[in-house]
Homo-oligomer: A and B are copies of this chain.
Amino acid sequence: MKRTLNLFFMLTLVVSFSAMAMSPRVVPGFYVEWPNHNGIPTMLEVGNRLECIHSPFQKIELYQTTQFGTMMVIDDVIMLTQRDNAGYHEMAAHVPLIAHPNPKKVLVVGGGDGGTITQVLKHSSVREVVLCEIDQTVIDLSKKYFPEFAPSFDNPRVTIVVEDAAHYIKTQKDQFDVICVDSTDPFGPGEALFTEEFYKDIAAALTEDGIAVTQSESMFLYTDLIAKLYAYNRAMFAYASYYYTVVPTYPGGTIGFSFCSKKHNPFDHIDAQRIAALGALDYYNEGMHRASFQLPQFLIDRLVTG
């Protein structure tokens, strides 16, 4: 009997080991972001996986992390955590909105988690926010798992358009004072949001003094992409720049935005009273607004050489 049990036990172990051997990258107790890791995958300590849903567009997962609150992952890429998303969402919204002297109508592309519209709504000048998100499932799951953003979806100033943003934006001309492109990476459904055509459509959808900012990845890991986007924007906008923010759970710990502006430079309309009226913030302030456009020398050199 003992021998039989031992054999059974060994067989179980062999099966377990084979499963591990086929997925040697599974680290018990940790979520690891493998795709496009550029040699430095992001690794986060997690407890339970709360959801895993395959929508018509993508795989959406929610995890409970041990030290970063709830985390959303789309197609195996970390989108946000409760603890450190402010560096992303505040910088995505407040930099272009404060750079604009009087933003009234704002488009948020992607951003179905609600984090960016939550920041946009803090600006009293804004009368209308359109959220264009391709995937209703992202919105539904965000409402459930990020209660701090949930009320924004029902705010009377917000219109939700569930549509492919690359198509939607072609129908909009001279409409928006500010556009925030809160996209995923330039692979899969998000790929169209990194093309020159999309930037032309953004320019057409903006008012004559409009400002757009677009998620443009890490300056260390995506230097070539940033240089490509900068080349588009330099030809299309009066002011084109890159600015960055620190988000520990993004690859290499930073992420940045392309700043595309038809008339206003990033600093000419900074108004301390408007910033104070936003209320308590976690990351953004006037100093960070200015500092975020100061780039390391290697990136300046790269943008100059193209």
Contact = CB atoms under 8 A, between A and B. Distances in A.
Interface string A269-295: 000000000000111110110111011
A20 interface: yes
A208 to B, nearest CB: 30
Copies of this protein, total: 2
A14 interface: yes
Interface in A36-88: 37-45, 65-68, 84, 86-87
Contacts of A32: 27, 43
Contacts of A16: 17
A45 B33 CA distance: 13
Residue among A250, A284, A290, A291 with the highest chain B CB neighbour number at 10 A: A291
Given A246-B254, A298-B282, A43 B44 contact: no
Interface string A14-41: 1011001000110111101000011111
A183 interface: no
7 contacts: A14-B14, A25-B27, A39-B45, A39-B67, A86-B298, A246-B253, A282-B296
